[in-house]
Amino acid sequence: MAPNLFGTSAALYLEASQQDVHQEKSTTEKANGQKLLAQKSSTPKSKYEWKIVWRNVIAFIYLHLGSLYGFYLLFNGTKFYTFLWSFMIASMAAVGITAGAHRLWAHRAYKAKWPMRFILMIFQTIAFQNHIYEWVRDHRVHHKFTDTDADPHNAQRGFFFSHMGWLMLRKHPEVVKKGGTVDLNDLEQDPIVVWQRRLYIVLMPLCCFIIPMWVPCYFWDEKPLNSWYTTVLRYTFSLNMTWLVNSAAHIWGMKPYDNTIGPTENKSVAILAFGEGWHNYHHVFPWDYKAAELGNYKMNATTAFIDFFAWLGLAYDMKTVPVEVVMKRAHRTGDGTRYKKPEVIHHHSHEGSKWGWGDTDMQPEEIQDVQIINKSD
């Protein structure tokens, strides 16, 4: 199936037409082994109509136009130090999302002592992608109900929707309904997460906009206008890099570990998103702290960051999956691009999807097969 770059037409999401379009999609997808995904989407739907959130539409238009101007200013007056500073801030924000919100809090792929959790919380606040609790809730729901209506950024609705369109519409009722079944107790027990959620309205503007803009003006006399538009550019760029994991890495790339699911291995996304583009592997083994089969630091900067903090004694109990277990799974359900081509493609059901370590749907052998690095006891 050619990837649907521009999103499915509005009509698809109007109640009356939903059933037909899904059936039509399932016919075209038979040819390339995607039948199962489409069938999953054709289960009876809750009533759903688009409700556009104009505040977000306007904000994203402003951010994207502003970042074009910020890019122009980079070559026309913005100081080099301001660029370097923004690059540093963008890297901190990226790690706050990848090592923090994603691998630590959403998937519990490792544990971190409070100083590391505090640093990651501040970095995650710089990223302004919602507070940790909300980010993790959406992400666990994405893993449990991948590419269905209950997935907040369902990639079946096309590139644009899964990239940023989902942030401009009210959520599908299935997200709220099925999302309510996902356990978030661990987050409610983490005082750093609770504290960030409570103070987010103050912390976020300070960390994402005010301090990053003020530093260049105060320390090297940058013009406020240049500093502001570089900040807008940095934020918009980081958002787009993150969103690529939900869009591009659910459309383009190989599926060596499970050919029956949407997520793919996408090298470009891995480089741009600090090692989060090995997305076929990640959806199969979400509890692996490397979020990839191989610990290649070049295309997985986040793993290097976590290993460094493990060396400092602040990260521990890092879960990973032994190569034999990965191989066995790839033989069984992979597309043959990394390990031998399987003869039969086994159907995969989202009933069995897991959001990460601690999900009660994990099978005893999956728990047993995990290897723990830097174990606490």
Q: Which residues bind Zn ion (CB under 5 A)?
A: 263
Identify which range of 73-81, 125-133, 212-220, 257-265 contacts ligand ST9 by CB under 6 A: 125-133
CB atoms within 10 A of CB 107: 27
Give Cα separations from 367 to 232, 285, 295, 370 (angstroms): 43, 11, 21, 6
Tokens linked to 282: 């990640």
107 by DSSP, 3-state: which? coil
Nearer CB in complex with ligand ST9: 26/236: 236
Select the residue interacting with ligand ST9 from 4, 67, 78, 238 (CB under 6 A).
238
User: What torsion do the CA atoms of 311, 312, 318, 320 make, to the nearest 10 degrees?
Assistant: -20
- With contact defined as beta carbons under 8 Å apart, do 178 and 151 qualify? no
Which residues on adjacent β-strands are paired with residue 316?
111
Identify which range of 118-126, 239-247, 255-263, 327-335 contacts ligand ST9 by CB under 6 A: 239-247
- With contact defined as beta carbons under 8 Å apart, do 157 and 169 qualify? no
Distance CA(162)–CA(240), nearest Å, equals 11
Select the residue interacting with ligand ST9 from 176, 206, 215, 299 (CB under 6 A).
176
Select the residue interacting with ligand ST9 from 119, 126, 241, 306 (CB under 6 A).
241
Select the residue interacting with ligand ST9 from 38, 89, 94, 270 (CB under 6 A).
94
180 binds, among Zn ion, ligand ST9, none (CB under 5 to 8 A by kind): ligand ST9
| Shortest CB 88 distance to ligand ST9, Å | 13
Distance CA(253)–CA(155), nearest Å, equals 14
Identify which range of 67-75, 192-200, 240-248, 334-342 contacts ligand ST9 by CB under 6 A: 240-248
Nearer CB in complex with Zn ion: 25/140: 140
318 binds, among Zn ion, ligand ST9, none (CB under 5 to 8 A by kind): none
Main-chain phi, psi angles of 112, to 5 degrees: -140, 140
Within residues 131-160, the interface with ligand ST9 by CB under 6 A covers 134, 137-139, 141, 152
DSSP output for 220-284: H---HHHHHHHHHHHHHHHHHHHHHHHTGGGTSSB-SS-TTSS--B-HHHHHHTTT--BHHHHHH
| Shortest CB 288 distance to Zn ion, Å | 10
| Shortest CB 162 distance to Zn ion, Å | 9
Tokens linked to 304: 């290097």
| Shortest CB 185 distance to ligand ST9, Å | 14
Nearer CB in complex with ligand ST9: 107/329: 107
| Shortest CB 84 distance to ligand ST9, Å | 16
| Shortest CB 191 distance to ligand ST9, Å | 19
- β-pairing, 371-373 vs 318-320, is antiparallel
Question: Measured at CB, which residue is nearest to ligand ST9?
Answer: 179
Q: Which residues of 316-340 are buried (b: 16+ CB within 10 A; e: fewer)?
A: bbbbbbeeebbbebbeebbbeebbe
| Shortest CB 178 distance to ligand ST9, Å | 8
Query: Sign of the C-alpha dihedral, residues 280, 273, 307, 353?
Result: negative
- With contact defined as beta carbons under 8 Å apart, do 203 and 196 qualify? yes
Mask 300-329, x = binds ligand ST9 (CB under 6 A)? ------------------------------
175 binds, among Zn ion, ligand ST9, none (CB under 5 to 8 A by kind): ligand ST9
- The count of C-alpha atoms lying within 13 angstroms of the C-alpha of 94, restricted to the half-sphere facing its C-beta, is 26
- With contact defined as beta carbons under 8 Å apart, do 124 and 96 qualify? yes
Which residues on adjacent β-strands are paired with residue 320?
371
Within residues 19-78, the interface with ligand ST9 by CB under 6 A covers 53, 56
Nearer CB in complex with ligand ST9: 105/309: 105
| Shortest CB 102 distance to Zn ion, Å | 6
Q: Which residues bind ligand ST9 (CB under 6 A)?
A: 53, 56, 94, 97-98, 102, 128-130, 134, 137-139, 141, 152, 167, 170-171, 175-176, 179-180, 238-239, 241-242, 245-246, 273-274, 276
